[in-house]
A = this chain, B = another copy of it.
Amino acid sequence: VTDELRGAYSASRLTRQRREIAAAVTRMPGAFSAAQLAAELHGNGVAAGLATVYRALTSLEASGWIEKAGQREGAALFTHCAVEHHHHHLVCTTCGRVEHAPCPLEGVLAGVAESTGFVITGHDVALYGTCAACGAREGAQ
């Protein structure tokens, strides 16, 4: 167990809070916000400041142990995914459950809804990069 946590926090100190936070993450049934994770901890009688939760989430995301999975009411959502390869998330707006979907840039996503039983009611997609003009400008410098 400790081995996995070491990797999750990538070479930092393993404190009681970080251990508890990682445990709470695995207990979350789906995508969760920092506040929800803190609530889960407090519900289990574990003391951990919100700031600490945020700092831990930042570490866990940096190591790739958890990933951002969109937003819900202005709050960032995270999810712990074992999936190694690059992928995307299907977040159930009712229960927060998360399904993994192959990256649309690498293949066809159509049919995913059918195979997972997910009914997609909406989605938010933003792709970032450099446009032709800026790419040329940078390349020229």
Which A106-139 residues sit within 8 Å CB-CB of chain B?
106-110, 113, 116-135, 138
Q: Given A97-B133, A133-B95, are A105 and B104 also a contact pair (CB < 8 Å)? A: yes
Tell me the nearest residue of chain B to A71, going by C-beta: B126
Cα of A130 to Cα of B91 in the assembled complex, Å = 8
Cα of A92 to Cα of B100 in the assembled complex, Å = 26
Q: Which residues of A contact B (CB under 8 A)?
A: 68-71, 77, 88-95, 97, 99, 101, 103-110, 113, 116-135, 138
Q: Given A105-B104, A134-B94, are A127 and B123 also a contact pair (CB < 8 Å)? A: yes
Count the copies.
2
Q: Given A126-B88, A126-B123, are A99 and B69 also a contact pair (CB < 8 Å)? A: no
Cα of A122 to Cα of B95 in the assembled complex, Å = 28
In the complex, 16 of the A-B residue pairs with CB atoms within 8 angstroms, ordered by the A residue number, are A71-B126, A89-B126, A90-B127, A90-B128, A93-B129, A94-B131, A95-B134, A97-B131, A97-B133, A105-B110, A116-B131, A117-B132, A119-B135, A122-B127, A122-B129, A124-B126
Q: With a CB–CB cut-off of 8 A, which chain B residues contact A127?
A: 88-91, 101, 118, 120, 122-124
Cα of A61 to Cα of B71 in the assembled complex, Å = 18
